[in-house]
Amino acid sequence: MLHFKIQLVRAIFLIAAIGLFVLSLNYLIEGFSPGEADVATWPIIASTLLFILALVALQFFSPGLYNKFNDSVKLVVNTRGASLEEIFDAFKGMETAWGMPWFGKISTISKDVIILGPNPEEEYVFIRPVLGIFISVNFSTMTSRLRPASEDAWRLKQPERPKSTEGIIRYSFGSACLLPTLIDRLQGFFSSGKADNSALGMDSKEEIYLFNEEFKWTGQDFHLLDADLNPALTVTSQLPCKTFHIYETDSDQERFMLTKRLFHIFTTYDLYLDGSKFCRLKRRLVLHHTYFSGKTSQGKLELIKMNAMFGSNYQVKLADKQIGTIARKLNATLGNIVFDNFVLSVSDKKWLPLMAGMSVMVARQAQREKVTNAVTLSDVDD
């Protein structure tokens, strides 16, 4: 019944939007007469504004579309009609990088909400029902608005950051993936009635890697290090930084090559894995998000920027399965992590050369964005 109501509301707004659009066209075509001095333009303005409002309302009742254009607020359709208390009971034991969920108040909202956080950077997520149809998952940094019960006052005390390198990196990834993973789990709960309340964060089986140098346009040789700071791969490049070679550190065997193609409207890279062409990766025209994709023999390769609130973070997917994550912003400063603070997580070590190449590409793009007003030898075609 709830699903029917949602579809009905969408249909009503769609019909209204189309009707107002036709009305706007009618006024634009017939409302102006070049020979008349006095032309009443208010119907055109009014119908245009109503058309825009109808489109906004239509977007709101299409969560997938709404979520694409909003980073700090996400909507999930509550197909089960579950109450906030039922949602809390289902996930209250879930461990996250920001602690377990708790019930509290926010000064601008009259009813209780579910809260995750705040974290050491005073960021938090809160969950609330909207219109009885949606569950809204919101990101905020305004901790002054939090109103915990007396027994939860301790939650506002700034928690300690992890102290070890590996702990900091895992915390960073756990923060970066918190919102999208939480939304997936809510959708799964509403669909099946079963809640996945296992620890939400980076899988302990995933391996982490980092770079030992910052990206330079002058060319350089640098290493990809494991969590113990031992070299795993060597990356080489020369001016004009169009091509990067990635070798096994202990054998000098080339595992991956990344080269940027010239004279393309959208940034394009050719990727070679173990001497064979693996993929031509192109930047796609997607509003509000950085997105690269290309075809491979094993399925579609995608680089997706998670335009969320936790810094510049990227997912790498192959055949719709995540094979790794690239995080730029660490939620704590590490003196031995440079290369624009890019750190990798890899789900399967066989994809490490590919992930290294993708992260070099991301770092190159980020460095280019720092000099958007400058024209360099290596970016005349961008």
The whole-angstrom separation of Cα 137 and Cα 74 is: 5
Domain count, the chain: 3
SS3 204: coil
What single DSSP character describes residue 31? S
**Same domain as 183, residue 251:** no
pLDDT of residue 307: 59
Work out the number of other CB atoms within 10 angstroms of the CB of residue 203.
Answer: 11
**Same domain as 215, residue 184:** no
**Same domain as 272, residue 183:** no
pLDDT of residue 313: 76
- Of 139, 209, 198, the C-alpha closest to 173 is 209
pLDDT of residue 279: 95
The whole-angstrom separation of Cα 76 and Cα 125 is: 14
**Same domain as 293, residue 226:** yes
Chunked in runs of 10, what are the mean pLDDT values of the chain (382 residues)? 55 62 59 48 62 61 65 85 94 90 92 91 90 87 89 82 71 75 90 88 73 61 82 83 87 90 85 95 78 94 72 82 76 44 82 92 72 38 40
The whole-angstrom separation of Cα 119 and Cα 361 is: 30
Asked whether residue 380 is domain-assigned, the answer is no
**Same domain as 257, residue 359:** yes
Angle (CA) 69-305-70 rounded to 5° is 15
pLDDT of residue 149: 85
Asked whether residue 352 is domain-assigned, the answer is yes
pLDDT of residue 126: 96
**Same domain as 229, residue 167:** no
Work out the number of other CB atoms within 10 angstroms of the CB of residue 78.
Answer: 24
Stated pTM of the model: 0.61
**Same domain as 155, residue 83:** yes
**Same domain as 160, residue 26:** no
Structural domain harbouring 170: 73-192
pLDDT of residue 23: 60
pLDDT of residue 309: 46
**Same domain as 238, residue 166:** no
The whole-angstrom distance between residue 158's C-alpha and the CA centroid of its chain comes to 25
Asked whether residue 257 is domain-assigned, the answer is yes
**Same domain as 176, residue 212:** no
pLDDT of residue 109: 92
